[in-house]
Copies of this chain bind each other. A is one copy, B any other.
């Protein structure tokens, strides 16, 4: 019996989970799977066991594996679980397990197109009230389609990467002219990110009932947002520099196969959406998130409260014939529940500064200060009463560059 044969039932990174990441080994970056506090070097383990298809993991990103599609992902997972459970394979596993402590994890995928949705009714209502006072909080289209927009793929960074406070233009409603400088309203958005695999051709929409087959797995995602830059720039074409400076994702990608017990019904959708967004596949996911501001837990956003299903998001994204590629990533939008302590952005938690948040050291905050560290974590129910953990998504704010133009 080796240690990974006898993990406790409540281990969030047990054999029911097995998330993937990319580790920077001295002889090259390769795909790994997490088992408790260790990473398994998958390509070397597969080579040792004589499984030739493991060569797809001998790459510095998940993209080649993502390209293979759902049958390959399922076969790989079955092989991996069998290899880890069967004590006769211990010699193929043990030499290739590395303690996570000291291992450098890289961005797990080359992000192709990055789309961000806006799928929480509570978040959209709060933002509408704050950004467009006096108008209906939800735009007329909100309950008919999952609103989304494209973000910047090239600035998606892995958990642990520092975030430089962005500079930009801002103009308050009473300022006569815009001013330039570091953002003074730097915020977070606690989201889930969905990693798309396989591909679909241009002109070929992904039907709702096939959408989950195209989703490989889930990351935690922090859509850092400069609210002052965003408020001034976003009409009429949407967010741009207020978001594009950095988007952090967790190093670990939890496979959808590990979340089979987490599917839950969506909150009621009224009015019923159009037929292409309707069907049994439109499920939610019971994933409980947590936002830690420095050392203080400040929010517990519930993904189960999201109005739109990830499957609806992908069906909508492609219904116009837009193609998808391995490495496409889409975010859910900020996860906010109905209760104040479940809001997923500081704009909402502090109600735009009117109700500052008190941290454990007695200090108060409405938005991020230089040196602040934000950590997102999450758990979901696993099969047979087990727990599925998500790797943390963390980032620390560095001061704006004084050399800005």
Q: Which A residues contact B (CB, under 8 angstroms)?
A: 112-113, 115, 118, 128, 131-132, 139-141, 144-145, 147-155, 157, 164, 166-169, 171, 177-180, 202-205, 207-208, 226, 229, 232-242, 244-246, 271, 274-276, 315-317, 319-325, 328, 398, 401, 404-405
On chain B, the residues within 8 Å of A315 by CB distance are 405
* Alpha-carbon separation in the docked complex, A181 to B322 (Å): 15
On chain B, the residues within 8 Å of A153 by CB distance are 112-113, 153
> Among the listed B166, B229, B238, which residue makes an inter-chain contact with A236, where contact means beta carbons less than 8 Å apart?
B238
On chain B, the residues within 8 Å of A229 by CB distance are 320
**Prevailing SS type, chain A contact patch:** loop
* Alpha-carbon separation in the docked complex, A141 to B398 (Å): 28
Indicate whether A168 sits within 8 Å of B202 (C-beta atoms), given known contacts A178-B274, A233-B147, A236-B234: no
Q: What is the chain B residue whose CB lies nearest that of A271? A: B177
Copies in the complex: 2
* Alpha-carbon separation in the docked complex, A132 to B235 (Å): 12
* Alpha-carbon separation in the docked complex, A241 to B179 (Å): 33
Indicate whether A238 sits within 8 Å of B238 (C-beta atoms), given known contacts A150-B149, A226-B320, A404-B319: yes
* Alpha-carbon separation in the docked complex, A154 to B274 (Å): 26
Q: Is the CB of B150 within 8 A of A233?
A: no
Which 5 residue pairs across A and B have the least CB separation, nearest first? Answer: A238-B238, A166-B320, A150-B150, A164-B203, A241-B320
* Alpha-carbon separation in the docked complex, A112 to B113 (Å): 9
Q: Is the CB of B405 within 8 A of A154?
A: no
Q: Is the CB of A168 within 8 A of B235?
A: no
* Alpha-carbon separation in the docked complex, A203 to B155 (Å): 10
Q: Is the CB of B235 within 8 A of A316?
A: no
* Alpha-carbon separation in the docked complex, A165 to B331 (Å): 27
17 A-B residue pairs with Cβ-Cβ distance under 8 Å, sorted by A, are: A112-B153, A115-B240, A118-B237, A131-B236, A139-B235, A145-B169, A149-B149, A150-B150, A150-B244, A154-B323, A157-B202, A164-B203, A205-B404, A238-B239, A241-B320, A245-B320, A245-B321
* Alpha-carbon separation in the docked complex, A167 to B226 (Å): 34
- Min CB–CB distance A67 → chain B (angstroms): 13
> Among the listed B113, B131, B205, B237, which residue makes an inter-chain contact with A238, where contact means beta carbons less than 8 Å apart?
B237
Q: Is the CB of B404 within 8 A of A322?
A: no
Q: Is the CB of B144 within 8 A of A178?
A: yes
Indicate whether A233 sits within 8 Å of B321 (C-beta atoms), given known contacts A151-B150, A153-B153, A315-B405: no
On chain B, the residues within 8 Å of A147 by CB distance are 233, 236-237, 240
